[in-house]
Structure 1
């Protein structure tokens, strides 16, 4: 993490980075900010980091050195700093033995909300003239048509393929569609509404609006959340049209409504569907998203859906179907940090999105475990979590900052009159707290113990909380702790999630009191993948859903384990890696599949004809001819669940279709650990035309101890394209896939938290 050298330096940095071009920085001559990364933090030198960095700068620059050149000193999770340097000085420092790398700090000057630029899809990227014909269906909590992100200035009439409608009710006569939001419907089969629900397609909680704007929101300058993340808000395909299908209300999202929305969306003529809704079913035919997306796939429509927010443990993902795109949440290089200043002068830097600033005034600070509301039957073990309403004694907490031992999910601090909250929560330290109506900052358990020790050792403990500021996360991208992980407990030899995309601190349109909001979750990751898929489709409108998914997966950027701790192999966290929209436009080869392939896969999984027809909706029949093993499904990744302590062999049959150069030869390049033996037959594929399909077999052999795994990659390389597929082999006890993870099927699924 970063610690600011001084408040004045911090303010100067903000002014320099967000208000003035570098050429106007006369005070630092012709220098510009550079990041100097020095590897891991030396043990026991946290307090000395700033002085060490100043000393290095002084020795390197010499007599022209000024302490004002040092802007940030990183000291907690890694060693490094940000300083104003000339090009020659940066080169000189990069050659020092203690320095890993030096590079310009240009990305701190965010021109947009950050995520699309971070993914390499800038505002001025090459775009197809078909983008305005693409219709994105968003199945969620509705949409706010008044948002600037959905302004239709300059749009023509909806594409002729559009068959949908705009549902207006007497309860909300102000709801209107336009040439951007070309359709909107709502569904509530139960007829039960909450007090905050509006019986129209209008979004009342912000979730659906946020998702829609990430996918296809138009360009909005000077968007921010109370000044945080200031820049241009935009979606991945800002010229595309939006059709909103409201299935989520204040209480739940009914499976029946989700299926109805899928059904309408397909008939209405959408091209891509985005669904950021949780799933609890443990079989394909008991899950509305699996069924709905299968029908969409059969009609040429790809569904992109959130992996879930139940991480970081293994086997927590509940989105299994191979025909949709399951998306994990990753970080961008923008991080929001919030200072807490203790009464003894110590400055601690936590993670949160906090728009409030208590200033330099100190407030009493109390540990929530010391303030239980005993008259209401609570004890310190409950009150310390700050989760249950009225668990805190208002007489003790009112006017205080309160230290809590869990991420805030309840109203207890507010009800007790707290002026701010400090959270000690190591499990999801990379997951900023949701917006709260008072100052908040989140810390590790270790930092929380420091604060608690200060409270215990001081007769009059005090603290203050400052407004969040943006910093640069050198480790990004990495998968967020909350993102659900594999392996796949339903079909262990299908890798899920498929891919990762930005899902932490994403600025998007909102409903209610703020026009734009910063939010986190796989609900925000899925629409990034949806936007990338839509971008690819604008250049390849005839590609199948499987081809688009393949293009996204085989061009994804591998994610390292740097950053937040990961207790599972990286493939179970990020799938094929982080999306790369520009690369996916020209993947070279694609692993294609159609409804018949997936039906054969399900037959091979043991589904009988009556069950399969529940999913396909047609007269599909399982026969010996189409009963295929999972290893024959033409998926862009390779996974093998193997017995422990025994030699194993897996044979994967795959086919790739040429979408690159007509005459091209691809060579198989394998990267694997010594524990795995991998062979590809044939090792080269020679194509003589576009659209030509060639088969190959990947043979995977080895022996793994229980609970161990081996990660490898296959890259088909023609000198221009690198078609990359992850390979993961792992061993586990059979009981791990059943006993601890079986859940009763639910008729309704809740909205994923963002």
Structure 2
């Protein structure tokens, strides 16, 4: 054969080989390989070498993607079907399975509350409330965020009377067809300063210097943003609950204070500008309604058809600390979603604990490092909180430091540890909680762990002469169960102002929520943090409130004639309070089933709320009758009614008759000489907003101390908007002071289930 023919043959063979190789690569899929760590042969010094050798035995291409050696042990790789068969025969293999493809989400809450699965069949949810206007009273807005994109939105509704105020960092062009209004209210705040707002380093404009306002606003109505994340965590599509709704922002809170004077000025403009939904994630007053100006202004707002949602507060788990309890507003508590950011602590003795973390830098080496308890090296003997100045310079050089949770943020503790030479931190909670739900964006490798881990790690440090640990990270994990839960920070009842009105009303996603952020402040909100982000992860009832506000915009779009009370009722009577497996939602603070004092009616289910069957409606007159029942003065009633209503002398007004979708029943405690029995009656009216049905009542109770009787037991509706009245009689035995229990009153008819929580408390 001539040399040129040999060269041609070699070229052909090379092409065939390359083609075959490429074809084989296309046939490969990604697999997760679990290995039995205990079966690693003795010649191997580490697992990576073992994994590589195992792969070489089945494939020419040693294409290991990732190795795992914390919770699971093994690796991920690309293999053909034939290679998989060979691999399964290798020593130490536990399992080989093809990877699952997950659809990524960021706030996670649209899918978690059920919106995504219904977009194709519910056009009113898909449109997102095109002409509904949501007003947000908060710290302003960051106009540069992609969450305010107005692509696809039509002209601004003609009924809109608001404006786009300008100032430092904020021009007329900052507003668009999405952000249709922006105002700022500063007079009281500026008066509290020694100089001007600008001298305080803040923007005298609607510009958000704090981040809180942008986060809440975009949670409610943010436009979809693809590939959003916080340094890679929670990556996916970020969107608000009502992505097509319009936004109007009212900056009444600043970096250090929210003054009632400024808030009231903002609320006034909310009413006159023409918003449909108002979202306020601020702490409220515990004063009576005659001393609460915010309650008064929101009463006016609701009277004019504006749905008003307030956050419940973050002062749990202590009872009776709930804020914003006026019955005309919707009070929102926080619940978790099924997403987590796992981090793992492995001790030198082999024990591993799962925690959580948002850490974005270079991880620690996958090897053990010296471990120390902060209380053993602190300047202040026994202080374990890692507060600023507590660790001497160089005292923890090259070590992982265990710090205990206290009032200082985790990120701030991390800075303290880093300044003292530490290379990692275990942030341990010394107080029991069902699940660690608080997550921080850290400066150095950190894992936050619960009390169980806290106790074991602390004991290990004390008993081992050379304690060591390592910290590894698991990224973003979806499908975490049980979920939802009630986080311990969410404020609880009983209602300290009006015990016969149950608060909170409902739960919504409020833990590790990703939403828009300001370019003026770091994601940790610490001055020494130079980082800037477009999205941030935050937790609190502040995050839960705008979920309900955005969802209210969707329901408002579908039912424009529904009153604020009807919308709230739809949310409450369709909320769920058990998981799919039938088990009750748990309270993180106790590990026990959550009562209505923690969760209200339950966790919001907006798709069911669109068609609730029946609603508990209420008008301005109903709320005024409620104020009469509280024996407020004629002056107070006049202020609330504008002089157009007065309590009728001699008429019996009862708080028990306010048409609320839930029942709070305070009862007298047991005492010597009493009969030990109390009888109270509550009256309610149901309005048919669905297909006419015949409804039957079912009641349940967790206590034998209260008997519940409903009259009538059957309600037959034959037309839309028809109303039916029923009475509930509670016959209760006295129990010791502080006792609580709960039950349910449920009307069922056709496809509808109309559920109301009942909360008992013995004062």
How many Å apart are 1:640 and its aligned residue?
A: 0.5
Measured against aligned partners, the alpha-carbon deviations of 1:58-101 in whole angstroms (never above 9, x if no partner) come to xxxxxxxxxxxxx99999xxxxxxxxxxxxxxxxxxxxxxxxxx
Cα 1:542–1:369 change in 2 (3 A) is same
Confirm whether residue 275 of structure 1 aligns to residue 280 of structure 2: yes
Q: 2:425 aligns with which of 421, 426, 430?
A: 421
Confirm whether residue 248 of structure 1 aligns to residue 278 of structure 2: no
In structure 2, distance between residues paired with 1:226 and 1:331? 21
Counterpart contact for 1:209–1:509, Cα < 8 Å: yes
Counterpart contact for 2:31–2:99, Cα < 8 Å: no
How many Å apart are 1:115 and its aligned residue?
A: 1.1
5+ long unaligned stretches in structure 2? 1-26, 39-67, 73-97, 520-531, 579-583, 671-675
Confirm whether residue 718 of structure 1 aligns to residue 749 of structure 2: yes
In structure 2, distance between residues paired with 1:247 and 1:484? 23
Q: How do 1:340-355 residues align onto structure 2 when only pairs under 5 Å count? A: 340-355=345-360
Structure 2 equivalent of residue 466 of structure 1: 472
In structure 1, distance between residues paired with 2:468 and 2:220? 44
Q: 2:504 aligns with which of 494, 497, 501?
A: 497
Counterpart contact for 1:476–1:563, Cα < 8 Å: no
Cα 1:684–1:625 change in 2 (3 A) is farther
In structure 2, distance between residues paired with 1:143 and 1:171? 11
Q: How do 1:264-663 residues align onto structure 2 when only pairs under 5 Å count? A: 264-356=269-361, 357-360=363-366, 362-373=368-379, 379-381=380-382, 383-387=383-387, 389-407=388-406, 409-410=408-409, 411=412, 413-415=414-416, 417=419, 418-425=422-429, 426-427=431-432, 429-471=435-477, 472-512=479-519, 513-559=532-578, 560-562=584-586, 564-566=588-590, 570-624=595-649, 628-645=653-670, 646-661=676-691, 663=692
Aligned partner of residue 685 in structure 2, secondary structure? strand
Cα 1:142–1:670 change in 2 (3 A) is same
Is 436-445 or 240-249 further displaced after alignment?
Answer: 436-445
Is 245-254 or 343-352 further displaced after alignment?
Answer: 343-352
Cα 1:691–1:171 change in 2 (3 A) is same
Is 557-566 or 594-603 further displaced after alignment?
Answer: 557-566
5+ long unaligned stretches in structure 1? 1-22, 34-46, 49-70, 76-103, 374-378, 733-754
In structure 1, distance between residues paired with 2:467 and 2:394? 17
Confirm whether residue 664 of structure 1 aligns to residue 683 of structure 2: no
Is 558-567 or 144-153 further displaced after alignment?
Answer: 558-567
In structure 1, distance between residues paired with 2:297 and 2:145? 29
In structure 2, distance between residues paired with 1:105 and 1:273? 44
Q: How do 1:49-128 residues align onto structure 2 when only pairs under 5 Å count? A: 109-111=103-105, 113-122=107-116, 124-125=119-120, 126-128=122-124
TM norm structure 2 = 0.78
Aligned partner of residue 340 in structure 2, secondary structure? strand
Cα 1:412–1:556 change in 2 (3 A) is closer
Measured against aligned partners, the alpha-carbon deviations of 1:562-596 in whole angstroms (never above 9, x if no partner) come to 46243785111100000010000001111111111
Aligned partner of residue 380 in structure 1, secondary structure? coil
Aligned partner of residue 206 in structure 2, secondary structure? coil
How many residue pairs align between the two structures?
Answer: 638
Measured against aligned partners, the alpha-carbon deviations of 1:408-427 in whole angstroms (never above 9, x if no partner) come to 62535414514432122135
In structure 2, distance between residues paired with 1:597 and 1:159? 31
Aligned partner of residue 133 in structure 1, secondary structure? coil
How many Å apart are 1:322 and its aligned residue?
A: 0.8
Cα 1:171–1:695 change in 2 (3 A) is same
Counterpart contact for 2:219–2:547, Cα < 8 Å: yes
Which structure's CA Rg is the greater one? 2
Cα 1:703–1:667 change in 2 (3 A) is same
Counterpart contact for 1:587–1:723, Cα < 8 Å: yes
In structure 1, distance between residues paired with 2:71 and 2:681? 48
Structure 1 equivalent of residue 50 of structure 2: none
TM norm structure 1 = 0.79
Counterpart contact for 1:407–1:433, Cα < 8 Å: no
Measured against aligned partners, the alpha-carbon deviations of 1:660-713 in whole angstroms (never above 9, x if no partner) come to 12x422111222343332121111112222111111111111214213333221
Aligned partner of residue 391 in structure 2, secondary structure? coil
